[in-house]
Amino acid sequence: MKKKFALLIALLLVLVICAPVQAATYPTFGILSVVVDESVTISTNLFPANELYYVYMGYNGTLGINGILVTKIWTGSGGTFKAKFYIPDELKGEDVIAIRLESPTTPYYSYNFFYNTTSYTSTYTTSTSTAPRPYTPNDFPTFNIIGVVEGESVSVETKYFPADDMFGVYMKDGASAAKTWYYVAGLNSADGGSFEATFTIPTELQWKEKIAIKFYNLDEDYITYNLFENNDYP
């Protein structure tokens, strides 16, 4: 009886040792490129489809925990895609910046770090089996520059804006490390979606070469950015 019992234990151990190990399937991302004090571009891997992720940046060593909320992204079809995020003013000048993508509704999160150096290419890219595809926002508010009157105004066209939300519109010198944002206007998104709006360029910025513009959602606490050349356009 003892021999049979010992043989059964031995067989069970063999089964445990030989059992295939499941590969991890949690989302990860690598750093593709950086423009110093301006932006970072990432490539994701194994991201779930149709989920919202918050994007945080923070100081080196923090893993992005309790970092600055930079934006929110919708994963669309998930898997592998590229996304570009702007570096917040509070972290400009830092040598190393932590970045974290975190789901507000599931346990999933992923973090990395990057050197704040232009043309930096990371060795941490995890997407090797599938070439990254361009990231097109699905449900996240964005806007395009459709017209500029040099030193006077800029016109934008929005996409995916929520309905009946309040936004603060700000501008700053986009060609320097200046941290001062000038309040331009308040905006109610009304029916949301796509609409056009024109904003006056502040006197302090009217002769700057490049101007950054951001919409700050006062209801949901997120920001969407763009940058334009202060020349007549189109």
Q: Residue ranges per domain, the chain? A: 28-115, 142-229
CA–CA gap between residue 74 and residue 78 (Å, rounded): 9
pLDDT at 119: 53
pTM: 0.49
pLDDT at 203: 94
Residues of the chain with pLDDT under 70: 1-25, 119-139, 177
CATH superfamily of 28-115: Neocarzinostatin-like (2.60.40.230)
Contacts of 155 (CB under 8 A, 6+ apart): 145, 146, 147, 148, 196, 197, 198, 199
CATH superfamily of 142-229: SOR catalytic domain (2.60.40.730)
Domains 28-115 and 142-229 share a fold: yes
pLDDT at 19: 39
